[in-house]
Amino acid sequence: MTTLYDVRPAAVIGGPGEVLTDDQVTAFITEALAGADFDGRSVCVIVPDATRSCPLPLLMKAVHGALTGRVNRLTTLIALGTHAAMTPAEIEKHLGAAEGLAATYPGMTVLNHEWSDPATFVQLGTISSDRVGEISNGLLHEEVAVRLNRAVVEHDIALVVGPVFPHEVVGFSGGNKYFFPGVAGQEVIDLSHWLGALITSSDIIGTRGVTPVRSLIDEAAAMIPAERLALSVVAQSGTSALHAVAFGDTRTSWEAAAAVSAETHVRYLDKPVQRVVSVMPPKYQDIWTAAKGFYKLEPVVADGGEVILYAPHVTEIAAMHPEIEQIGYHCRDYFLAQWDQFKSVHWGVLAHSTHLRGAGTYSATEGERCRVQVTLATSIPEHIVRGANLGYLDPVTFDLQAYESDPDTFVVPNAGETLYRLR
C-alpha cells in the first residue's frame, strides 16, 4: 500500500499567468507517464463529470496515447460523487469521442460511478471515532466506514486526471478528493461534507494546505490498495485552456496545482458589495451544482446583502436529492439547534443546505437570521423556490443589463469556479 507521506516532488509545467499550448500539455503528459512504472499493470483513470472546466479530451487523448500498449487493462471511471449519471452521448462529448468511444479510445472501458448501487462498493476499512475526533479537532466523534468503487480497488494503479479549484468543503478540490467523495460510499461523503459545514463554507473555501476535511479524505485514501497517481491541472475558468499541469502522487500533484489555483482562481475586492448577480453557465444543470455561484461570492457580500443566482436554464433544485426541497435551505445553527429532528437526513444534504444559505444564527425565540439573502432567478416554479426558504425572481422579466448598470451590484459572468474575497 502507498503510505500517506511516502512521496516524491511532483513534476510541473506552467504556472500562474501562463497559458499552455495543447502541444506543451501533450508533450508533458507523454514524458511524465513514460517515466512512470505502468508497464504490464492495470490502470483505472478517475476523471470529473461535466460540472468542472477542464480540457478532458486533450488530457485523455494524451493519457490514452501514453498508456496504450503498455498496460494490460485500462478503465476510465467518471467521479460523479452523487451527481446524475452521464448518458452515453454526454460521455462521448465529455471525452471528445466524436467518432465513438471504441474508435477514439480503443481498448478502454468507460464507467459511470454508480453511487446508488450497493454492489458498486468495496469496504476498505473504518476510521475510528477517536481518530475522527483528532482529525476534526473535536467537532465530530463518529466512526465511519470507508467504501470505495470496486473499479479502483481492482486495478494496480489509480490515476486521477482532473482540475483543482477553490472548494467549499475541503479548501481546494482535486487529488484524493476524486476518490472521496468522487467515487466513494455515502458514509465518507456525509461525514466529510458535514465536517466542512460545521467549519462553514466561508471559513474553509480557498484555505491553502491540509484542512481537517482534507485530512479525513487523505486518511481514507491511505487505505486504497492501488498505487495513487495524479495529473492535476489548473484550468482557465470557463475555457479549455490550462495554466498548469502537475504529475506525481495524489498528494504532491494536488499540492502543486493548488498553489497555482490559489493565485489564479482567487480574486480580491477592496470593499464589500451590497448585491451580487452570479450568472451561472449551462454546465450547472440544477441548484445542487449551481450553488457554487453562492459559495464563491459569499465572502464579499455585505451584511444584509443579497446573492442572486441567475440561471434561467435551471428547472429543478436537485433531482438526485429530493430531500433538499423538504428541509429547505438553512444556516448551520438552524440544524444544530434542532439536531434530533434532522440528524437522520443524509449529512451531505444538510451540508449542501448550509453551504447555499451561508452564515447565520438560530434560536427558538428569535428564529433564523441569515447574514445574506439568497435569491433564485431560474425556471424553478416560484412555490418550490419559496418553499425551500429562498427568494424568487422571474427569469423572464429579470433585467441583467439593469443590474450591470447598478453601482451597488457586482455582476459575475461564468460564476462558480473563481473565489472572491475581501483584501
All structural domains of the chain, each given as residue ranges with its CATH number in brackets, are 11-264 (3.40.50.11440), 267-422 (3.90.226.30)
Helix (H, G, I), strand (E, B) or coil at 43: strand
Cell numbers for 278, please give them. 452570479
CA atoms within 13 A of residue 49's CA, in its CB half-sphere: 23
Interior angle at CA 417, CA 411 and CA 420, nearest 5: 55
Q: How far apart are CA 310 and CA 398, in angstroms?
A: 9
205: left (phi over 0), alpha (psi -120 to 50) or beta: beta
Distances (CA, A) of 235 to 20, 165, 334, 417: 10, 8, 36, 10
Residues 308/393, Cβ–Cβ less than 8 Å: yes
pLDDT tens-digit series, residues 170-212: 999 999 999 999 999 999 999 999 999 999 999 999 999 999 9
| Dihedral, 202, 204, 208, 214 alpha carbons, nearest 10 | -160
Question: Could you read off the pLDDT tens digit of each residue along the chain, which spans 423 residues?
Answer: 233 333 468 999 999 999 999 999 999 999 999 999 999 999 999 999 988 889 999 999 999 999 999 999 999 999 988 888 999 999 999 999 988 999 999 999 999 998 889 999 999 999 999 999 999 999 999 999 999 999 999 999 999 999 999 999 999 999 999 999 999 999 999 999 999 999 999 999 999 999 999 999 999 999 999 999 999 999 998 788 999 999 999 999 999 999 999 999 999 999 999 999 999 999 999 999 999 999 999 999 999 999 999 999 999 999 889 999 999 999 999 999 999 999 999 999 999 999 999 999 999 999 999 999 999 999 999 999 999 999 999 999 999 999 999 999 999 999 999 999 999
Q: How far apart are CA 45 and CA 313, in angstroms?
A: 31
Helix (H, G, I), strand (E, B) or coil at 36: coil
pLDDT computed for residue 3 by the predictor: 30
Residues 358/373, Cβ–Cβ less than 8 Å: no
Count the Cβ atoms, other than its own, within 10 Å of residue 245: 27
- Cis peptide preceding 181, ω within 30 of 0: yes
Helix (H, G, I), strand (E, B) or coil at 291: coil
Task: Work out the angle between the directed axes of helices 212-221 and 186-199 (0-180°, nearest 10).
Answer: 160
Rounded to two decimals, the pTM is 0.93
Q: How far apart are CA 180 and CA 186, in angstroms?
A: 10
| Dihedral, 231, 234, 236, 241 alpha carbons, nearest 10 | -30
pLDDT computed for residue 132 by the predictor: 98
Paired sense of beta strands 409-412 and 273-279, if any: parallel
DSSP H or E run through 157? strand 157-163
Residues 73/42, Cβ–Cβ less than 8 Å: yes
Interior angle at CA 257, CA 256 and CA 258, nearest 5: 95
